[in-house]
Chain A
Amino acid sequence: MSNTKEFKPTDWGSPEMQARTRRRYRRDRNFKAMGVSAVLLAALFLFLLIGKIARDGAMGFLQTSIDIDVTFSEEILGDPRAMSAEAFEDHVRQANMIRLLDEALTTEFPEVTSRRDRRSLIRMISGGAREQLRTMVLETPAIVGSTRTVRLLAADDIDQLRKGKIDAAEEEANRKVKDKELAWYRKLDEEGRVSLNFHTRFFTSGDSRDPELAGIWGATMGSALTLVVTLFIAFPVGVLTAIYLEEFAPQNRLTDIIEININNLAAVPSIVFGLLGLAVFLGVMHLPRSAPVVGGLTLALMTLPTIIISARASIKAVPPSIRDAARGLGASPMQVVFHHVVPLAMPGILTGTIIGMAQALGETAPLLMIGMVAFIVDIPGGFTDAATALPVQIFLWADSPERAFVEKTSAAILVLLTFLIAMNGLAIWLRQKFERQW
């Protein structure tokens, strides 16, 4: 028995103790309530953001069309039976499609006679109607001489009117659609010629100055080509760097400096990478401007630190006992790494890579610097074609004065978000598929 002083017996039932217990419970409750409200607040903001974009964007996938009875007159288009196919094609290409449209609208609105009004009338139809009519004639020359009801895209203002974005009650001077046009529109609408349809063109065409003709396919292709370059550079370089630093590099000052700098690079603002890309790839190497290859290289530089850091973390997470086991059996350092460590680290490496890719997909600033911000109508077909990317397209549209681009912008954001969510979903799926127990 020791002769030290004995403790007093603790009275767990005393009022003080009970108050202490109550206080502890209250703190627990308060902390939980704070946590829940933080989550709810975050969820609310996310809901508002997505909700707003979805509401605006949903309309971007729809487009107003007007059904017009068009007479494909021989006088304007030429007679396909009277001339060779080539001659007919030439003739059609040079034919004045506006006249065709003008005549069709005159039949519809015989009361409109003044030149000016007829011009306004034609402007209710999208400028793309000419190309649409020409394509119809070229595809089926037999159409010449007949009258068909053709569904033509409405101009963006009429589209906005149909969607309720332009208020008819507004004073005429402040309204994009004037009273006369409103009357014509109402007449067409009463005849059931105005309709709102799913806008496939939005997914198949490139950029345009006319909102109703603009699409995201060009930007999507640009993004895809850019990401291919990014992936093919950043993934092997990043993973090999991570493997070397983690498994082979000697622990010395140089390695420490490299490590610190990689971590710093991850925090460098992306526009700096854009400046670097501009200086090196365009300035020194003279690669083509606005090209996915340059965008891809620049984004690869930006993505590298993300991939290296996540790959190193997952390589580090492989238990050392696995390395010991393989080494103890006589596996060479290479065999240890490629037979055991890398396969076990793969889910983490892939997750990091996909998240890096998703980052690259959403990146705008560096692409602005290397000229991928140009207005490009053609769909890029290769790595050196001029192209733009989805986020840059969103940026361009958000900057456009036409009202109809607001919904196009939101629709494009929705498409971009869909891609990002799909990529992150893929990352989660890969992680779960390859996750192993040890």
Chain B
Amino acid sequence: MLDMATKVDPMTDSRTPKMAAKDVNVFYGDNHAVKGISLDLYRDEVTSLIGPSGCGKSTFLRCLNRMNDTVATCRVEGNITLDGDDIYDPKIDVVQLRARVGMVFQKPNPFPKSIYDNIAYGPRIHGLARERTDLDEIVAVSLEKAGLWNEVKDRLDSPGTALSGGQQQRLCIARAIAVNPEVILMDEPCSALDPIATAKVEALIDELKGRYAIIIVTHSMQQAARISQKTAFFHMGDLVEHGDTTQIFTSPKQERTRDYITGRFG
């Protein structure tokens, strides 16, 4: 049957990075948005990307599943690997890459379809379910993992857009989970949510940790401190500092990091 847990693979044990960026530069036309960033991302861990607006953290995040491909002026240099394979290799199928590296966006963006169809869409296009019962199970398991099952199990046919903002965001997380990704990218997933919905999403991220490598962009330093094990601080396209979250927040090595986390700028 369908086992949603990540496969055990020597390549993905916690000591080898799940994804690794080496000397990544991103340009939008002449604008050098991300400057020579190298960062290892491990499974079993939540990595927070923090920094002031326009510092390149979202741009960097979007390189990890090649969402920047659709921006005509965007040029990515350097090397990003997933399990050791270069994801910008022309031989890599971007469709498969995005199934393996899922994404949750800033604004909840459920499809204007039923809750069921929202979840089932990914598995359908990737042919993950052979029969209707398989699909039913994927939907149920995904919603359960996203902590939404009990709230929506009686109205799977009602539109996803009719849910509250927090529920919509968890629906989007469930939708990402449904294609069984290995990495989940989250681009400020709580910035459009109220504190209660934020708490639920944070609890969910905490629960998902360990099964997926999670990379989250956030503007809330409290959030980064609460949910992540690793933190990377971006400033003006540079990766100023990265390391264990506790270390970054208690004894930052760089002055810019210290200024930022104490609220002196940004």
Contact = CB atoms under 8 A, between A and B. Distances in A.
Contacts of A330: 95-99, 122, 125-126, 179
A329 B176 CA distance: 7
Contact of A321 (B67, B102, B105): B105
A315 to B, nearest CB: 15
Contacts of B107: 321
B193 to A, nearest CB: 15
A163 interface: no
Contacts of A251: 72
- Size category of the B interface is 20 to 34
Contacts of A335: 125
A321 B109 CA distance: 6
Contact of B161 (A327, A339, A438): A438
A250 B72 contact: yes
Contacts of B112: 322, 344, 436-438
A329 B109 contact: no
A118 interface: no
A328 B111 contact: no
B175 interface: yes
B70 interface: yes
A322 B161 CA distance: 12
Nearest to B185: A328
A340 interface: yes
Contact of A329 (B70, B72, B99): B99
B206 to A, nearest CB: 22
Shortest beta-carbon contacts, A-B, top 10: A328-B103, A321-B109, A330-B99, A330-B98, A329-B122, A436-B112, A325-B109, A330-B95, A438-B112, A332-B95
Nearest to A323: B70
Contacts of A436: 112, 161
Q: Indicate the member of B65, B70, B99, B126 with the most A CB atoms within 10 Å.
A: B70
Interface string A318-344: 010110111111111001000110001
Contacts of A437: 112, 159, 161
Interface of A: 250-251, 319, 321-322, 324-332, 335, 339-340, 344, 436-438
B121 A329 contact: yes
A338 to B, nearest CB: 11
A329 B175 contact: yes
B179 A329 contact: yes
A319 B111 CA distance: 10
A327 B70 contact: yes
Contacts of A326: 111, 121
Contacts of A329: 98-99, 102, 121-122, 125, 175-176, 179
A124 B103 CA distance: 84
A321 B187 CA distance: 13
Nearest to A336: B70
B214 interface: no
A324 B102 CA distance: 11
B172 interface: yes
Contacts of A325: 105, 109-111, 172, 175
A322 B176 contact: no
Nearest to A436: B112
B111 A340 contact: yes
B149 to A, nearest CB: 20
Contacts of A328: 65, 67, 98, 102-105, 176
B43 to A, nearest CB: 19
A344 B109 CA distance: 14
A326 B72 CA distance: 19
Nearest to A335: B125
Nearest to A247: B70
Nearest to B65: A328
A340 to B, nearest CB: 6
Given A335-B125, A438-B161, A327 B109 contact: no
A331 B95 contact: yes
29 contacts: A250-B72, A321-B105, A321-B107, A321-B109, A322-B109, A324-B109, A325-B172, A326-B111, A327-B67, A328-B65, A328-B98, A328-B103, A328-B104, A328-B105, A329-B99, A329-B122, A329-B176, A329-B179, A330-B97, A330-B122, A330-B125, A330-B126, A331-B95, A335-B125, A340-B111, A344-B112, A437-B159, A438-B112, A438-B161
Contacts of B103: 324, 328
B110 to A, nearest CB: 8
Nearest to B72: A251
Contacts of A322: 109, 111-112
A331 to B, nearest CB: 6
Nearest to A332: B95
Interface in B36-85: 65, 67, 70, 72
A111 B67 CA distance: 98
Contacts of B176: 328-329
A273 B100 CA distance: 52
Interface string B114-130: 00000001100110000
Contacts of B125: 329-331, 335, 339
Nearest to A324: B105
Contacts of A250: 72
Contacts of B111: 322, 325-326, 340
Interface in B151-165: 159, 161
Contacts of B99: 329-330
Nearest to A437: B161
Given A321-B107, A322-B109, A327 B98 contact: yes
Nearest to B172: A325
A327 to B, nearest CB: 7
Contacts of A319: 109
A259 B122 CA distance: 34
A51 B104 CA distance: 59
Contacts of B105: 321, 324-325, 328
Contacts of A332: 95
A335 B112 CA distance: 16
